Amino acid sequence: MSAETRELTCIVCPVGCRLKAEMVDGKVTSVEGNGCKRGAQYALDELCAPKRTVTSTVRVSGGFLPLVPVKSAQPVPKEKIAEVLAAICATQLTAPVKGGQVVIANVAGTGIDIVASRSMPVAEAAQA
């Protein structure tokens, strides 16, 4: 049986509680230092199945700007981030793009969509 203590800072809210998690055989057995129960859940998620919201940009042809910001609709498992970023890099859109529009559905087989973070209208010169 291997026991270890991990220290981390909770990022669920701006308070930034310092957490101390006890782990036995890779499983979280206790969490201390959290000011609310969300902190304990954060420690459990971060130590057992870390996820991150992915943000990036996608090329847009005929748009007012050449890139549109995008983000994952939900946090992505950390081990899939490189694959998600590769899929985003390989994507190109044509203007117009609407904010909230799904840019890549089920990216990298995660069941998570990549969505546009803002609208991108057609460039004035492209409309004429």
What are the tens digits of pLDDT across the range 25-83? 989 999 999 999 899 999 999 999 999 999 999 999 999 999 999 999 999 999 999 99
Q: Which two tokens stand for residue 31?
A: 């969490």
> Each residue of 97-115: b (16+ CB within 10 Å) or e?
beeebebbeebbebebbbb
Farthest CA pair distance, the chain: 71
Number of domains in the chain: 2
67 and 116 belong to one structural domain? yes
24 and 63 belong to one structural domain? no
Residue 49 φ then ψ, to 5° = -150, 70
pTM above the 0.85 mark?
Answer: no
User: Domain of 27?
Assistant: 3-49
85 and 31 belong to one structural domain? no
For residue 11, what is the domain's CATH number? Answer: 2.20.25
